Amino acid sequence: MAALVLDGKQCAKETEERLAKQVAELKERTGGTPILATILVGADPASATYVKMKGNACRRVGMDSLAIELPETTTTEELLAKIEELNANSDVHGILLQHPVPAQIDERACFDAIAAHKDVDGVTCLGFGRMAMQEPAYGAATPAGIMRLLEAYNIDLAGKHVVVVGRSPILGKPMAMMMLNANATVTICHSRTQNLPEFVKQADVIVGAVGKPELIKAEWIKDGAVVVDAGYHPGGVGDIELAPLYDRAAAITPVPGGVGPMTINTLILQTLESGLKQIG
Per-residue pLDDT tens digits for 101-152:
999 999 999 999 999 999 999 999 999 999 999 999 999 999 999 999 999 9
The CATH topology of domain 141-260 is Rossmann fold (3.40.50)
Is the preceding peptide bond at 100 cis, omega within 30 degrees of 0?
yes
At 280, the pLDDT band (50, 70, 90 cuts) reads confident
Q: Is 231 annotated as a binding residue?
A: no
Task: Flag whether pLDDT at 209 surpasses 90.
Answer: yes
pLDDT at res. 258: 97
Per-residue pLDDT tens digits for 143-183:
999 999 999 999 999 999 999 999 999 999 999 999 999 99
Task: Flag whether pLDDT at 273 surpasses 80.
Answer: yes
- CATH superfamily name and code, 31-115: Leucine Dehydrogenase, chain A, domain 1 (3.40.50.10860)
User: What is the Cα 48 distance to its own chain's centre?
Assistant: 17
Active site residue 44: no
pLDDT at res. 13: 97
Say which residues have a Cβ less than 8 Å from residue 73's Cβ, sequence separation at least 6. Answer: 102
Q: Is 168 annotated as a binding residue?
A: yes
Active site residue 229: no
Mean pLDDT for the stretch of residues 171-196: 97
Per-residue pLDDT tens digits for 53-101:
999 999 999 999 999 999 999 999 999 999 999 999 999 999 999 999 9
Give the global pTM.
Answer: 0.96
% of the chain beyond a pLDDT of 90: 97
The whole-chain average pLDDT of the chain stands at: 97
Say which residues have a Cβ less than 8 Å from residue 268's Cβ, sequence separation at least 6. Answer: 16, 19, 36, 54, 57, 58, 61, 63
Q: Is 166 annotated as a binding residue?
A: yes
pLDDT at res. 1: 73
Rounded Cα distance between 84 and 103, Å, is 21
Rounded Cα distance between 164 and 173, Å, is 9
Exposed (0-12), middle (13-18) or buried (19+): which is 43, by Cβ within 10 Å?
exposed
Mean pLDDT for the stretch of residues 236-256: 97
Domain ranges of the chain: 31-115, 141-260
Active-site hit among 54, 82, 118, 173: 54
Active site residue 173: no
Active-site hit among 98, 119, 160, 173: 98
Active-site hit among 7, 119, 121, 239: 121
Q: How far apart are the first and last CA of the chain?
A: 48
